[in-house]
Amino acid sequence: MFALRGFKCLSSLLPLLCAQHRCAGVLVAIVALPAVGSAPVSEPLYVKNLSPVAGLFGLPSQRAAQATPHGEWTVDLHGSLANHYVNESNDTQYLNLDGETGRLALELRYGFIDNWDLQLEVPWLDQSGGDLDGVIDDWHDFWGMSDGGRSGVPRDVLDYRYISAQGGFLMQDDASGIGDVSVAVSHAFYRDDNSTVSAALGYKFGTGDDDEFLGSGADDEFLGSGADDAYLAVRFSGAQMSDLPLSWHGQVGYLRAGDSNVLEGLQEQNLWFAGLAMDWRVAQNWSVIAQLDSHAAPLDSTLTGVGDDAVMATVGTRWYFAPQWSVDISVVEDIRVETAPDVTFQASLRYRSSMSK
């Protein structure tokens, strides 16, 4: 919990730094640091939709199509802090998502044979009223932006609720604990000098408490081949076919969601997902990454926040600060408004036991 609180403090400073026009100076000072060694294989940013409802589903984040080399392993620690505010209704439904989600995830990969790797992810989540409402309100005021009504409600309050004829949910008490653990196996079935294509089969266990929005309370399976009982993601990674220092990544897939107790009678069970990322190596040990992630609506609803397909845009930077080590800093926005958190601040620390590409 100390790590989550520390991440919240760091995240709350970012908008203020930008508002005072200091970000450029900070970035210039950091970029001026000396380069360290050679960089490992390119990788997309780790992005999850942490909206309280969408976050219950086992939608996989993007990753490089290359498998971890045989006998090698990777360790990643991902931290995310998302602020939510959605309030909408119609004649038959009412939705209010007001709160903050903190998430830490330990991700391990091991190359158990050539072109094959196994991945394990163990998350920890914190659902609370949070601390960022005032910062975000000030940010909107500074730029004269619409706040969607968030300034008219009490700050830093947790209130997740949905009411419909088919059922609903209500959560107003802070909660934290382990989320849904997931495993996946990936196989790079095509490789040439510039590109790789892989397929990943995965499973999410319902280890999180769904009443506290820490997990779905159900096991999910996803498979891009269209099977009813498994999950598959097809991924590609490749270098730009020119002198530009660009790498591209993408994924498409299908999720068959298990039955969630808290979303009983409401949820969709057949969800597609897709993503595209561009990694621009601006210096030997620096990358700037732009990324799009999208997925199908989590609920059968006419309300935008839970019934429309989600689209998120992420911009971030990666610093390879030591051999085999790198750190990512990024910001995620809901470019299809209300289908994802208003803003998500993210950081990832990555270790690679091999520098092989």
pLDDT for 29: 42
The number of domains in the chain is 1
Shortest CA distance to 308 belongs to which of 322, 292, 320, 296?
A: 296
Assigned token pair, 78? 């991902």
Contact 121, 105 (CB under 8 A): yes
pLDDT for 40: 64
Q: Is residue 357 part of a domain?
A: no
pLDDT for 227: 29
pLDDT in tens, the chain (357 residues): 434 444 454 444 444 434 433 433 433 343 344 444 455 689 999 999 999 999 999 999 999 999 999 999 999 999 999 999 999 999 999 999 999 999 999 999 999 999 999 999 999 999 999 888 778 877 767 777 666 777 678 888 999 999 999 899 999 999 999 999 999 999 999 999 899 999 999 999 888 998 899 988 765 554 433 323 357 999 999 998 888 999 999 999 999 888 888 888 898 999 999 999 999 999 999 999 999 999 999 999 999 999 999 999 999 999 999 999 999 999 999 999 999 999 999 999 999 997 544
Query: What is the rounded CA–CA span in Å between residue 266 and residue 38?
Result: 49
CATH, residue 78:
2.40.160.40
Contact 204, 219 (CB under 8 A): yes
Q: Is residue 233 part of a domain?
A: yes
Q: Is residue 37 part of a domain?
A: yes
Q: Is residue 130 part of a domain?
A: yes
Contacts of 262 (CB under 8 A, 6+ apart): 56, 169, 210, 211, 213, 216, 217
Q: Is residue 197 part of a domain?
A: yes
Q: Is residue 24 part of a domain?
A: yes
CA dihedral 18, 335, 4, 174 (to 10 degrees): 120
**In Å, how far are 95, 195, 234 from 167, measured between CA atoms?**
12, 47, 35
One-letter amino acid at 32 equals: A
pLDDT for 27: 38
pLDDT for 171: 95
Domain that holds residue 114: 2-352
pLDDT for 184: 96
Shortest CA distance to 81 belongs to which of 96, 100, 99?
A: 100
Contacts of 71 (CB under 8 A, 6+ apart): 111
Q: Is residue 173 part of a domain?
A: yes
pTM: 0.85
pLDDT for 176: 97
One-letter amino acid at 189 equals: F
